[in-house]
Structure 1
Amino acid sequence: MSPPPRAAEPGTLAALRARYGARSRWLLLLSVMVGTMASVMSSTVVNVAIPDLSRHFVLGQERAQWVTSGFMVAMTVSMLTTPWLLARLGYRRTYALCMGLLLVGGVGGGIAGAFWLVLLARVAEGLAAGVVQPIPAIIILRAFAPDEQGRASGLFGMGVVLAPALGPSIGGVLVDAFGWRSIFFMVVPFCLLSLWLAQRYVPVTAPGGVSAGAGVGVRFDGVGLLLASGATLALLNGLVALHGGPAAEAATLLAGAAVAVAGFVAWQRRLLRRQAHPGAHGAAATPPLMNLRLFGHRPFAFGAIVAFIYGTALFGSTYLLPVYMQMGLGLAPAYVGTILLPAGIVLAVAIALVGRLADRRPAHRLVSLGLALLAASFALMPTLGPASAMGWLVAYAILGRIGLGFILPSLNLGAMRGIAHELIPQGSSVINFMRMLGGAVGVSLCGILLEWRLAAHGETLAPAHSAASAARLAAFDEVFVVLAALCLLALTAAWQMRARPGA
């Protein structure tokens, strides 16, 4: 007589499937969606409060924009740690740790009495958000069948974009009523809900269903993380120094960034060689932070290029649009949120619809169409002015969000379909890293370009010069044209994502 089957260990993927059946993967996706909503909201909603924050701490535009770019730098670098953390701690502990850190950052930023404390809180939020954001793509590619992945991406994306859609609207009202501090507390209920959901629906296991702790004996690539962090910080500071600092300082920082990038690539190649021949080095080799084998897959390589350029345009515009509406067109913060709300709702619907298309249509075509629409929305912004009907501003914002609706569910799937199964966690982290690195560059680039063009037109964003002027609008318009050009550049790379016949 055969012994009865052993019950699955509580909290494992098998136990959750046994308890919730086919619904388990959708409940898991819902759980990480709430946490990702919190991280996305924390990255974008603060932009509405930047003018108020600048006045409170008496900051110039370059310093104020570090509230956004500091978050982006922390988020960008921490994304590369996600595969190692998942292997070491499992899904649930990694996710809960990040939500706790995001909660602390939100509360800490809300009660901060000095600007450096606000920056510290934003860095904490960025670290948490960076680790969380690659996780949904890993779950979608591992837990869902290929013919369900587009629908899962669409439904997940629809939920996630509701956060930045509703965030600026609610955030604008909060800033007007309670000041900039209230913005930081917006993530608190999302963090608490995500922690509760994690205890119920997120497995304790690591990717692939193996027990958490399988990576305990695997060393972390600290050298790689140090080089990646140094390259990112040197690049962003070098961009800032290009405008406001001495030329020698800018050249030194940018050269340092180039050296750090070269060192990072060389180090990753060395670790990859050691991993391929572990016996030659005694103890188990440290796995590389970024597995360069991923770039041997053509769709992934061009997808990473698209992700970087697209991130530059997207996050640069996310920073630029609220500032443009308030300090270019002279709109109140609450009104800014109201204008962006319809575009956000359209984006949520577009993502859900395009997600279904992504299961049946080539990803490179969907991404290319989205980039073309996004470029058109930026190119049309210079046609607006203080006397323009606000309906045109809403229409252009909606056009851009429809473009995003084509890009967001398609880019990850198009880039990562066909890569080796064991490389999926690394692939998700690298694609998100490239997008966020582009985003960090974009936020700094938009701030620098805006300051440069304002100075060229003899203008400033200082509160004493709060009235909209033709010169100020011309400076904003020129930055929008640059963003449109970046989207067209990304479009050429997106078309190369298609797999070659016979590949």
Structure 2
Amino acid sequence: MADGDDKQPLVDPRSLAALQARFGPGLRWWALVTVMIGNMAAVMAATTINVAVPAISHVFRLGPQQAQWLATGFMAAMTMSMLATPWLLRRWGYRRSYIAMLVLLGAGGLAGGLSTSVEMLLAMRVVEGLAAGVLQTIPGVVIMRAFAPHEQGRAMGLFGFGTVLAPAIGPSVGGVLIEWFGWRAIFFFVLPFCVVAAELARRCLPHSAPGGEPIDRRAPPPDALSLALLSGTLGALLNGLVDLQGPRPWLGVATVALAVVLMALFVRRQRHVPAPLLPLGLFKHPVFSAAGVVAFVYGAGLFGSTYLLPVFMLVALGLAPSQVGAVLVPAGLALAVVIPLAGRLADRQPVYLAIAAGLGVMALSFVLMIGIGRGSAIGWIVGWAVLGRIGLGFVIPSLNLGAMRGLPPPQIPAGASTVNFLRQLGGAIGVNLVGIMLGWREQAYAALGPDGVLRAFHEVFVLMALLTLAAAIAAWRMRPAGDATAMDSS
């Protein structure tokens, strides 16, 4: 408070009010660009490792299961940290939380690139995953709180454009970096993005917690037992799914059963702690509850099919890697073009219609893939791949919007983290489900040779179509209970 007329009250230059005075209405767009670049860094950390796995496996003499943990460890850590995001925002605010996670991601990348042992390398992948989970959750909170309802679809579409651009360019650039500088360059690749995003966050993100609320240093930390149960659940689940594909499937069944028990204990624990990692009260909102089902099933279909399509072209159709790349480029471009258009449409039409229609188109593309054989023209494969990505483009900007528009503003951070968690959990199961199903059907048709391999892939495409259709049916339950209200800017 000022003690005299000649003195002015001190104003924190990083407060929401000060930033709004400095940037004006454009603050929300600067905030969107900031979180988009940070998210691109997180996505590239997740995806570029795939092109380096053969080189890393050769250097450290890794078997297939050990090499798989380069991706699985990252995924498990990312899935778990998503649920801690609301607490981080309450405790540290937007600016400190985001910059801290960028520093953590960059440090993990730097140390990973300098690793001299496989243990250190895997540990740094876990560090990167912990940071990536938060970096991928905060943008949804920013969009829902900083943009009015009639702008949220457009903002989500622009953000989605950057999100799909990262996995499109990451592996390509990563391949060049490996060829020129070796596998370590893959880990250093994220550093420039982290530096740029951190500088933008320092300038454009407020100290405050969501909604312009003051930071609460006394916010109760996540329950330690809940964290332990969730870590055990994810570890057992991913380990068990890997074992199901190995020589000891009985061990996989037992480990997955352990994961189910741990998850049940985790959910029960959330009813009795003051600051639950997974607020079960969110599921009392019918729209959010339906969106959670959509996110889980859609995640399984999306991640499973993203793995399935390239393997189908390489193994069943016998295409060269360069041809596979040529097929996937038009699909990626179609997705990048459709997402901003679908985002604008989400501002004008009910989002549940866009989600259901997009999932229906994705399911159709999987069904059409059943007609592809070794003699099929490349153009048909490109066409069906593009069709699937067009459907995906309608889902991406609408799912988070549809899930969170019906929530009270204080529950939006928890809603964003929960939707991302469910989608990621579904994705982890979907990838392994595709691998298990494919191995099982290939064994069943082993006597048929190449025709049997093709039939096995076709049956897995049927599974993907059924999963996607199930998500489309659940999307019809996402009808909003009432009109959305404008969110406060933060």
Q: TM-score, normalised by structure 1?
A: 0.87
Distance 1:19 1:317 in 2: 45
Q: How far 1:484 sits from its partner (Å)?
A: 1.9
Percent of residue pairs bearing the same amino acid type? 53
Unmatched segments (≥5 aa) in structure 1: 272-285, 460-467
1:24-46 alpha-carbon deviations (Å, 9 max, x no partner): 11101100100001111222233
| Paired letter, 1:321 | L
Contact 2:245 2:435 in 1 (8 A): no
Aligned to 1:270: 272
| Paired letter, 1:490 | A
Aligned to 1:477: 458
**Within the alignment, does 1:243 sit opposite 2:245 as a pair?**
yes
Deviation larger for 216-225 or 345-354:
216-225
Aligned to 1:496: 477
Contact 1:340 1:397 in 2 (8 A): yes
Report the CA distance shift for 1:480/1:8 in structure 2 as closer, same or farther (over 3 A).
farther
| Paired letter, 1:264 | F
Match for residue 33 of structure 1 among 8, 14, 36: 36
**Within the alignment, does 1:297 sit opposite 2:285 as a pair?**
yes
Query: How many residues are matched?
Result: 480
Report the CA distance shift for 1:402/1:71 in structure 2 as closer, same or farther (over 3 A).
same
Aligned to 1:356: 344
Aligned to 1:152: 155
Task: Tell me the C-alpha RMSD between the 2 structures.
Answer: 2.8
Give the SS at the match of 1:270: coil
**Within the alignment, does 1:188 sit opposite 2:191 as a pair?**
yes
**Within the alignment, does 1:234 sit opposite 2:236 as a pair?**
yes
Deviation larger for 379-388 or 416-425:
379-388
Contact 1:342 1:394 in 2 (8 A): yes
Distance 2:370 2:59 in 1: 31
Report the CA distance shift for 1:358/1:502 in structure 2 as closer, same or farther (over 3 A).
closer
Distance 2:70 2:82 in 1: 19
Aligned to 1:42: 45
Task: Map 1:183-222; keep pairs closer than 5 Å.
Answer: 183-212=186-215, 214-222=216-224
Q: How far 1:481 sits from its partner (Å)?
A: 2.6
Contact 2:113 2:188 in 1 (8 A): yes
Task: Map 1:330-345; keep pairs closer than 5 Å.
Answer: 330=318, 333=321, 336-345=324-333
Contact 2:406 2:481 in 1 (8 A): no
Q: How far 1:63 sits from its partner (Å)?
A: 4.1
Distance 2:450 2:121 in 1: 31
Aligned to 2:76: 73
Distance 2:125 2:482 in 1: 46
1:97-152 alpha-carbon deviations (Å, 9 max, x no partner): 21122222333443445444443232222111101111111111111111111111
Distance 1:51 1:391 in 2: 30
Give the SS at the match of 1:192: helix
Q: How far 1:9 sits from its partner (Å)?
A: 0.7
Aligned to 1:486: 467
Aligned to 1:127: 130
| Paired letter, 2:109 | G
Give the SS at the match of 2:189: helix
Give the SS at the match of 1:257: helix
Distance 2:55 2:324 in 1: 14
Distance 2:370 2:49 in 1: 25
Distance 1:130 1:269 in 2: 24
**Within the alignment, does 1:93 sit opposite 2:96 as a pair?**
yes
Report the CA distance shift for 1:187/1:448 in structure 2 as closer, same or farther (over 3 A).
farther
Give the SS at the match of 1:9: coil
1:293-322 alpha-carbon deviations (Å, 9 max, x no partner): 110111100100110111111122233334
Contact 1:77 1:433 in 2 (8 A): yes
Match for residue 417 of structure 1 among 405, 408, 411: 405
Unmatched segments (≥5 aa) in structure 2: 485-490
Contact 1:76 1:440 in 2 (8 A): no
Match for residue 136 of structure 1 among 139, 146, 149: 139
Report the CA distance shift for 1:190/1:392 in structure 2 as closer, same or farther (over 3 A).
farther
Report the CA distance shift for 1:136/1:109 in structure 2 as closer, same or farther (over 3 A).
same
Report the CA distance shift for 1:118/1:476 in structure 2 as closer, same or farther (over 3 A).
farther
1:326-370 alpha-carbon deviations (Å, 9 max, x no partner): 455555555544432222222122110111111121111110111
Distance 1:384 1:120 in 2: 42
1:241-271 alpha-carbon deviations (Å, 9 max, x no partner): 3332545533432332222222122211122
Deviation larger for 483-492 or 53-62:
53-62
| Paired letter, 1:216 | R
Contact 2:87 2:219 in 1 (8 A): no
**Within the alignment, does 1:365 sit opposite 2:353 as a pair?**
yes
Contact 2:87 2:222 in 1 (8 A): yes
Aligned to 1:465: none
Distance 2:331 2:190 in 1: 22
